[in-house]
């Protein structure tokens, strides 16, 4: 389910913090502390350090705690991995103006999140800055889009 997907590997954990930071006026450190509180509320003890076992529901709760709202936009979790869109394919079809958090994976082991708005992207490789999307670096090409969330 949605809540069981871990955000794995150090650069991807940092990316998720950067994405939420970019959609709010909070620093990645403040986002990490909000994630710690969200996990505690659901009976999980985590520290404020970057981790590899976040729960996606914690991310969405932090959006709410920052005064935002989210709505599931697209769900490909039941689509066979090989038939899901790559990040490049998804972005080519979604250059809309609405902010979105995009959750990707490699068929269940590695999770990744990035933010997109107005045809721009915020990700680890953009160093937290909004840049016009052209294509993902080779190191992200193995990922495919699993779920997207509109954020306001």
User: Which two structure tokens, joined as six digits, stand for 27?
Assistant: 């620093």
The pTM score is 0.74
- What pLDDT shows up at residue 24? 73
Structure confidence at residue 10 (pLDDT): 35
What pLDDT is attached to residue 126?
75
Evaluate whether 150 touches 98 at the Cβ level (below 8 Å): yes
What is the C-alpha to C-alpha distance for residues 11 and 115, in angstroms, rounded to an integer?
15
Kindly calculate the radius of gyration of the chain based on its CA atoms and give it in whole angstroms. 14
Dump strand ranges (E) for 1-152: 70-75, 100-105, 111-117, 120-122, 131-132, 144-151
Mean pLDDT (the chain, rounded): 77
- The count of other CB atoms within 10 Å of the CB of residue 4 is 9
pLDDT at 6: 38
Q: What is the pLDDT of residue 137?
A: 87
Segments in the chain below pLDDT 50: 1-13, 52
Question: What's the pLDDT at 74?
Answer: 94
Say how far apart CA 116 and CA 131 lie, in whole Å.
9
pLDDT value of position 49: 62
CA dihedral 96, 57, 2, 102 (to 10 degrees): 20
Q: Which two tokens stand for residue 45?
A: 């003890």
């Amino acid at each position: 389910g949605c809540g069981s997907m871990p955000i794995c590997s150090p650069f991807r954990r940092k990316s998720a913090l950067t994405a939420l930071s970019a959609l709010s006026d909070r620093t990645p450190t403040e986002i990490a502390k909000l994630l710690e509180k969200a996990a505690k509320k659901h009976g999980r003890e985590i520290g404020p350090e970057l981790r590899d076992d976040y729960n996606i529901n914690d991310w969405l709760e932090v959006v709410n705690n920052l005064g935002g709202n989210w709505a599931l936009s697209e769900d490909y979790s039941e689509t066979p991995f090989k038939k899901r869109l790559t990040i490049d394919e998804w972005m080519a079809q979604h250059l809309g103006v609405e902010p979105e958090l995009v959750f990707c994976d490699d068929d269940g082991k590695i999770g990744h999140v990035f933010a997109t708005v107005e045809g721009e992207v915020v990700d680890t490789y953009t160093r937290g800055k909004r840049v016009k999307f052209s294509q993902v670096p080779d190191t992200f090409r193995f990922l495919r889009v699993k779920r997207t969330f509109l954020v306001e």
